Chains A and B, each alone.
Chain A
Amino acid sequence: MKKYIVKRVIGLIPLLLVVSIFSFLILQAAPGSPIDNYMQPGMTEEQIEALKEEYGLNGSIAEQYWYWLKHVLQGDMGTSISKNRPVTELIAERLPATVSLMGASLLISIVCSIPLGLIAGLHKDRPMDKVISTITYFGISIPPFWIAMISVIIFAIKLRWFPTGGMHSLDVESTADTLWHMVLPACVLSLNHTAVYTKYIRSNTISQLEEDYVVTAVSKGTNKNIILFRHVLKNCLLPIITLIGMNIAGLVCGSFIIENIFSWPGIGRLCMEAVGGRDYPVIMGYTMFSCLILIVGNLVADALYAVADPRIREGMGRK
C-alpha cells in the first residue's frame, strides 16, 4: 500500500509543476514588472539593479523561474503588496476557515446523497426515482452563486433565521456561533456535490442490483435489507471515495465563489481581495495553495480507497 501511495504522489508532481509554471508565466505577463512593487521614486540605476539581484529578477526567464520555485518550495511565496505581509502567513491565517467550510459541506453532501441515491436506485423508473432524478438535475444546473443569493434573500433577509455573512457575530467567539454562521454557506456549497454523488450512487445501485451475487442472494431468500446494506451499499460506497477525490477541484472553485458571497474569511475571499487590489503575489500564492489542497485531497482519497479496497490493500501487501 505504501508503494501505491508513493506512486500516486509521484504522479501528482507534474500537476504541481505545470500549475507553478503557469502561475509564474502569468505573473511575468502581468502588466508592470514585479520589480515595480519594490521600487521607490528617485532610485538610481544601480539601486534598481541591486534590488533585482536581491529578488532574483535579473537573468533569463528560466533562471527567474528557478529562483521563484526554490523560494516557493521553502514556503516563501513572496510578500503581499497591499498588506505588506508574507503571503504564506496570510494564507495560513485564512486556511482553517476554508478547510472547515469545505469539510462541513462535504459531510452534508455525503450524508444526504447516500439515502437519496439508494432510494432512487431501488425505485428505478418509478415516480420516486423520477422526482429524485429531476431534483439532482436541478442541483447540477443551478448556478451555486445564484442559489447563494436566493438563500440569503429568503433565509437571512426575509426570515432572519441565519446571518447574511461572515464567520462570527461581533464580539462573540463560540463554536455554536461559528456553526450558526456556517449553515447557509455550507449547505449552498454542498448542493452541487450532493447532486453529483446522488446521481452516481443511483446508477451504481442499479448496476449492482443486476449483479449475479445479488440474484443469488435473492434466490437464497436473503432478507432484502441485508442485501441492500451489507452488499449493495458497500460496493456503492467504495467508488464514492474516488469520486470525492475527483470533485475536490469543484469544491475549491465552489468555495471561492461561496466565500465571496457570504464574506466567509477564507483563502478564496483573500484571493478576491487581492484581485481587486492587483496583489499578484497573493493571487499566485492562492493558486498554488489551492492546487496543494487539491493534491492533498486526492491523495487522502486514494489512501482511503487503498485502505478500503482489499484488492489494492492485499495486492500491495503481497509484493
Chain B
Amino acid sequence: MDKRFQRVKVQETNTEARYERGLVGDILHTLKGNRLAMLCVVILVIITLMAILAPLSPYDPDAQDYMAILQPPSSEHWFGTDELGRDYFTRALYGGRISLTVGFLSMLLSVTIGTLIGTFSGYMGGKVDTLLMRFTDLFMSVPSMMLMVVINAIFPPKLYSVIIILGLFEWCQVARITRAETLALKQRDYVIAAKHLGASHKRIIFKHIIPNMSSSIIVAGSLAVARAILTESALSFLGLGVQLPKASWGTMLQSAQMYMTDVPTLAVFPGVFIMLTVFSFNILGDALRVALEPKMIK
C-alpha cells in the first residue's frame, strides 16, 4: 500500500513540476533526458538548415554540364553528378526543401482537419459523435495510398495538389486522438465551470479544450510529418507525386532508378535523407508521447 501512495505522490510532484515548466519547457526537459531524441532534433535541425541555406551552394541545381555526367562523389561534387551533369548534393538540398515543405504543410492540413473533426465529435457526443466516428473509421480503412495513386494518375499532380491530397487522407488518426481527449476534458471542472458561466461552445472548444490537448497534437503532428514525407516520396518515386522540373527526394530516386547498375550512389543519398528525416520525426514523436502523457509517468 505504501508503495502505491508513494507512486501517487511522485506523480503529483511530477505533474506540478511539469506545470511549472510549461509546455515548451516540458518538451525541452524531455529532450534533455533522452539522448536519442536529442540526436534526432539535431539531425532535423541540420537537415532543415541545409534545405533553407541551399542557395548558398556554389552550384545551380538546374545547371547542366554535359562534360561531367554521372560522376562518382569527389571533393568537387560531394555526392557526384546526375545524368545531366547537375551537382547531386545541391539537388539533394533543394529536394529537401520540397520534401520538407510537403511534409509540414500537409501535416498542418491534416492536423487542423483532424483536430476540428475530433474535438467537434467528442464535444457534441451522441449521434453526431457516432456518425463522425463511423466516417473516420471508414476513411481509415480505405487504402489511401492507392486512392492517391488513382487520383494522381488521372489528374496530373501539382505541388499544391500533392500537399492537399496527403492532408485530406491523413487526418483520421488525429481525429481519433483529439476526440478521446475531448471526451475526457469536457468532464473537467473548469470546462463545466466555464459552461455554467455562460461561455459559448466556440469559446470552450477553442479556449479551454484545444489548448489543453496541445501536447497530444504536437505528438500526432510529429508522427504525421513522418508519414507524409514517406508517402510523398513513394508517390513521387512512382512518378505520381512531385513532378519534374521540381524534384523532391522521391523524384530524385525515381530518376536514379535508371542508373542503378552504373552509379548506385545516386540511389543512396536521397534515400538516406528520407530515412533520417522520417526516423527522427518518428523517434521524436514517440519520445514526446511517453514524456507528455501523464499516465505513462512511472
Contact = CB atoms under 8 A, between A and B. Distances in A.
A208 to B, nearest CB: 17
B267 A149 contact: yes
B260 A149 contact: yes
Contacts, number: 110
A18 B250 CA distance: 30
A142 B275 contact: yes
B271 A146 contact: yes
Contacts of A291: 142-143
Interface string A153-191: 100010000000000000000000000000000000000
Contact of A138 (B142, B149, B271, B275): B275
Given A26-B154, A153-B264, A256-B146, A145 B141 contact: no
Contacts of A142: 275, 278
Contacts of B230: 141, 143
Contact of A143 (B144, B155, B256, B274): B274
A14 B230 CA distance: 29
A26 B150 CA distance: 8
B238 A272 contact: yes
Interface in A176-225: none
B154 A29 contact: yes
Interface string A293-306: 01000100000000
Nearest to A280: B154
A233 interface: no
B142 A18 contact: yes
Interface in A260-293: 260-261, 271-272, 275, 280, 283-284, 286-287, 290-291
Interface string B227-271: 000100110011010000000001001001100110010011001
A92 interface: no
A137 B278 CA distance: 9
Contact of B143 (A14, A31, A252): A252
B207 to A, nearest CB: 35
A141 B279 contact: yes
B271 A143 contact: yes
A223 to B, nearest CB: 27
B153 A275 contact: yes
B214 to A, nearest CB: 25
A298 B147 CA distance: 19
Interface residues of B, number: 38
Interface in B52-97: none
Nearest to B277: A141
A287 B238 contact: no
Contact of B240 (A26, A31, A275, A287): A275
Nearest to A152: B260
B106 interface: no
Nearest to B152: A275
A257 interface: yes
Contacts of B143: 249, 252-253, 290-291, 294
A131 interface: no
Contacts of B155: 29
A5 interface: no
A150 interface: yes
Contact of B253 (A137, A149, A153, A283): A149
B145 to A, nearest CB: 4
Given A150-B271, A252-B146, A290-B143, A157 B153 contact: no
A140 interface: yes
A149 B238 contact: no
Contacts of A26: 150-151, 154
Contact of B153 (A149, A260, A283): A283
A257 B150 contact: no
A290 B146 contact: yes
B162 interface: no
A103 B19 CA distance: 50
A137 B271 contact: no
Contacts of A256: 145-146, 149
A14 B149 contact: no
A271 B283 CA distance: 35
B267 A150 contact: yes
A30 interface: yes
A235 interface: no
A252 B148 CA distance: 13
A141 B282 CA distance: 7
Given A26-B151, A26-B154, 15 more contacts: A19-B147, A26-B150, A142-B275, A143-B230, A143-B237, A143-B278, A144-B234, A145-B234, A146-B233, A146-B274, A149-B267, A153-B264, A253-B143, A256-B146, A280-B154
Interface of A: 14-15, 18-19, 22-23, 26, 29-31, 134, 137-138, 140-147, 149-150, 152-153, 157, 249, 252-253, 256-257, 260-261, 271-272, 275, 280, 283-284, 286-287, 290-291, 294, 298
16 contacts: A14-B138, A15-B142, A22-B147, A141-B230, A141-B275, A145-B238, A146-B267, A146-B275, A149-B253, A253-B144, A256-B149, A257-B237, A261-B257, A283-B153, A283-B154, A294-B143
